Amino acid sequence: MAYTIEARGLRKAFGDTRVLDGLDLQVQRGEVFALLGPNGAGKTTTVRILSTLLAPDHGTARVAGHDVVREAKAVRSAISLTAQEAAVDGLLTGAENLRMMARLRRVKDKRRVDALLEQFDLTDAANRRVETYSGGMRRRLDLAMSLIAHPQVIFLDEPTTGLDPRSRNAVWDAVKALADGGTTILLTTQYLEEADRLADRIAVLAQGQIAALGTADELKARIGRETVELFFDDEETANAATAVLGGLKLPVDGAEDVRRILDDLADRGLPATRIALHKPTLDEVFLALT
pLDDT, one tens digit per residue, over 221-270 is 776 667 889 999 999 999 999 999 988 988 787 788 889 999 999 999 99
Pseudo-torsion of CA 28, 29, 35, 40, nearest 10°?
90
pLDDT value at position 47? 94
Confidence of residue 9 (pLDDT cuts 50, 70, 90): very high
Does one domain contain both 208 and 237?
no
d(CA 75, CA 223): 38
Does one domain contain both 234 and 190?
no
d(CA 223, CA 282): 9
Q: Do 123 and 170 contact (CB within 8 A), yes or no?
A: no
Asked, for residue 219, whether it belongs to a domain, the answer is no
pLDDT value at position 250? 85
Strand 184-188 versus strand 153-157 pairing type: parallel
pLDDT value at position 151? 87
Does one domain contain both 129 and 34?
yes
Does one domain contain both 130 and 229?
no
Residue 159 one-letter amino acid: P
- Number of structural domains (the chain) is 2
d(CA 244, CA 270): 10
Asked, for residue 182, whether it belongs to a domain, the answer is yes
Residues 6+ apart with CB under 8 A from 212: 203, 204, 219, 222, 285, 289
pTM, entire model: 0.76
Q: What is the pLDDT of residues 174-217, one digit of tens each?
A: 788 778 888 899 999 877 788 888 999 999 888 888 988 999 88
The residue out of 190, 214, 238 marking a domain boundary is 214
Asked, for residue 161, whether it belongs to a domain, the answer is yes
d(CA 238, CA 149): 61
Q: Do 202 and 189 contact (CB within 8 A), yes or no?
A: no
Asked, for residue 260, whether it belongs to a domain, the answer is yes
Q: Do 41 and 207 contact (CB within 8 A), yes or no?
A: yes
pLDDT value at position 64? 94
pLDDT value at position 269? 92
* Residue 283 in this model has a pLDDT that exceeds 80: no
Does one domain contain both 233 and 200?
no
Does one domain contain both 126 and 34?
yes
3 state SS for the chain: CCCCEEEEEEEEEECCEEEEEEEEEEECCCCEEEEECCCCCCHHHHHHHHCCCCCCCEEEEEECCEECCCCHHHHHHHEEEECCCCCCCCCCEHHHHHHHHHHHCCCCCCHHHHHHHHHCCCHHHCCCEHHHCCHHHHHHHHHHHHCCCCCCEEEEECCCCCCCHHHHHHHHHHHHHHHHCCCEEEEECCCHHHHHHHCCEEEEEECCEEEEEECHHHHHHHHCCEEEEEECCCHHHHHHHHHHHCCCEEEECCHHHHHHHHHHHHHCCCCCCEEEEECCCHHHHHHHHC
Range of the domain at 15: 5-214
Q: Averaged over 136-154, what is the pLDDT?
A: 86
Does one domain contain both 238 and 121?
no
Asked, for residue 79, whether it belongs to a domain, the answer is yes
Does one domain contain both 133 and 273?
no
Asked, for residue 288, whether it belongs to a domain, the answer is no
Does one domain contain both 241 and 158?
no
End-to-end CA distance of the chain: 30
Asked, for residue 85, whether it belongs to a domain, the answer is yes
d(CA 187, CA 34): 5
Q: Could you give the percent of the chain with pLDDT greater than 90? A: 51
- Which residues, in sequence order, are bridge partners of residue 20? 12
pLDDT value at position 171? 79
Does one domain contain both 232 and 194?
no
**244-to-163, 255, 262, 268, 269 alpha-carbon distances in Å:** 49, 20, 12, 9, 12
Does one domain contain both 157 and 259?
no
* Residue 1 in this model has a pLDDT that exceeds 70: no
Q: In the predicted model, what is the mean pLDDT of the chain?
A: 88
Residues 6+ apart with CB under 8 A from 279: 220, 226
- Tell me, what CATH number does 142's domain have? 3.40.50.300
Does one domain contain both 152 and 261?
no
Q: Do 270 and 240 contact (CB within 8 A), yes or no?
A: yes
